[in-house]
Structure 1
Amino acid sequence: MRRVGAFTLVEILVVVVLLGILAAIVIPAVGSSGASARQSVLAQNLKLLRRFALIYKGQHLEVGPGYPNGDTTQAPTEQAFVDQATTSSNANGQTAAVGTPGFNRGPYMANIPANPVNGKDTIQMLGDGDDFPADGDDTHGWIYKAATSQVRADSAGTGNDGKRYYDY
């Protein structure tokens, strides 16, 4: 008499091999989707920060954000950048609470977005005579130069596309 309903060792082995092949295909694809999402968010956050810097400069006598009270004789500061982005300002770059009479520009964003690669939202401010570093080092979320209104990601590493995060 023959037994019915049981799987042979060969059938089980075939199923295990097929599951192994499927896992080898699916797991890397799922793993890289997180990196792709970070790249996309990084590009969008940089676009947002760059657009803010250009719009702010256009509305504030061609002075980029970061200079305290819009005074280009002072060194740019992170606090001035954040305040000018997230509160109201006047044409000279002085900031005040939203709704303050005479401060009819801004706010431009609710907060400074975090860099999705390193999770930081701080900004390394470059002075007027400072050059950008050769690469990001993940000590801040962003690197910004007020004199030129340029923003870069302070991120080491490379995206799935082979491009350095710093060059996005």
Structure 2
Amino acid sequence: MKIKVLKGDITTVQVDAIVNAANSSLLGGSGVDGAIHKAGGSTILEACRQIRNKQGKCNVGEAVITTGGNLPAKKVIHTVGPVYQKGKNNEKEKELLTNCYENSILLAKENDLQSIAFPCISTGIYRFPKQVAAEVAISAIKNNPILNEVVFVCFDDENYEIYKELLNNE
């Protein structure tokens, strides 16, 4: 399995699937969620509505898959990251974040996808500490080497430097 880190816009990455750091409504939001819905077009939102009508909201740590719409990626895997509560439930929050990564790659594998790109899940408005989130993400991926390629796409310099350092030190 090849693991890479890029700095940039996840909506432009050429992989089989990109992961959306979604909210539980699956109906779009701000940050990477809003960017994916905007760039991908209305077919992604419609697919999310169909999922909601069938199963209701998406719980923290779970993942669902939709079309990639107008994106270069064939599919979008939507996962709901945990909101960081200032360490009040640190181990549970790490477990839920791990579930986001594990469930996303399992869903990719089940759909015969070989490459996936992840944003920095929960490090924006959900306030998960960036260093801890990166450690959880890399560990979850390395413990489940079931895809050919995993790309961590960092929107900001701080996350990019953290991922670069963690991946170069292993």
TM over 0.5: no
**Whose radius of gyration is greater, 1 or 2?**
1
Higher strand content, 1 or 2 = 2
How high is the TM-score relative to the length of structure 2? 0.28
Higher relative contact order (CA 8 A, sep 6+): 2
TM-score, normalised on structure 1?
A: 0.28
